[in-house]
Amino acid sequence: MYLKPLSDVFPNPPAGLDPDALMEERVPQHVAVIMDGNGRWAKKRALNRLKGHKAGIEAVRETIRCAHDVGVRYLTIYSFSTENWKRPQDEVVGLMDLFAKTMLAEVDGLDEENVRVRTIGDLSALPAETRDAFDKAWEQTRDNTGMTLLVAVNYGAREEILRATRACMRYAVIEGEGRGELPELTEEIFERGLYTAGIPDPDLVIRTSGEMRISNFLLWQMAYSEFYCTDVLWPDFTRYDFLRALLDYQGRERRFGAV
């Protein structure tokens, strides 16, 4: 359900882009975004990479607002992967500081819009200040009933699958004790061990910067997701780019492996 008129969400669409073509009943329930291109955006402007990450914050704000206003129920943003620790130390330190400051600055506004903020990933490895900022956002917004914003931070899908597998092993040992046989393991049981337990799989996955990679993101959950890739670098991504992705998604027929 649209939370605002489309004319307010997309007030000045570029020529050839018609917001009224968006079908309310076909807005994806869950959109996941691989935000790529901050470094290249900065390099093109002879800036350091952290300036690119800071510039990308406005694109995050715009995407959250737009997704919320058109009725997306779940928005997942890939902020920091388990592999990103391999980046230069000053960039990692700067990112952690940026995460903390941005979350603390934005949480009140998100709360006012009834957005619930969750994280997926292993927060234990984050600096205390960054971890505390994410924890505060969760505590402040956990009872909200509007859109759920999932921030993937220190997230890796392979690690998540291993985590869920270990949970299944514990389940099998506990449930199988005294039976003489292992209990049946189902997808439902496996999914209880995922960070996204209780969250529907993404309908649409958007990747910016022209790259055609999954990058260790939601490997289990994206089994039947629709992909939309754009050459736009993340800091340049606007609500109109988001609209293009939604319209492209709505033009597809999802078959989930059937004919």
16 marked ligand binding residue: no
Averaged pLDDT score across all residues of the chain:
95
CA distance 244 to 22: 10
121 marked ligand binding residue: no
> Which residue out of 8, 18, 20, 36 is catalytically annotated?
36
Query: How many other C-beta atoms can be found within 10 angstroms of the C-beta atom of residue 154?
Result: 22
The reported pLDDT for the residue numbered 177 is 66
Instruction: Note if 84 is an active site residue.
Output: yes
116 marked ligand binding residue: no
- Indicate if the pLDDT at residue 259 is higher than 60: no
The reported pLDDT for the residue numbered 26 is 96
Pick from 42, 33, 12, 117: nearest CA to 77: 33
Instruction: Note if 216 is an active site residue.
Output: no
Pick from 30, 149, 42: nearest CA to 95: 42
Q: What pLDDT, in 10s, does the model give residues 107-129? A: 999 999 999 999 999 999 999 99
**Helices first, then strands: H and E counts in the chain:** 8, 6
The reported pLDDT for the residue numbered 180 is 65
Query: In the chain, what percentage of residues exceed pLDDT 70?
Result: 98
63 marked ligand binding residue: no
> Which residue out of 48, 84, 114, 144 is catalytically annotated?
84
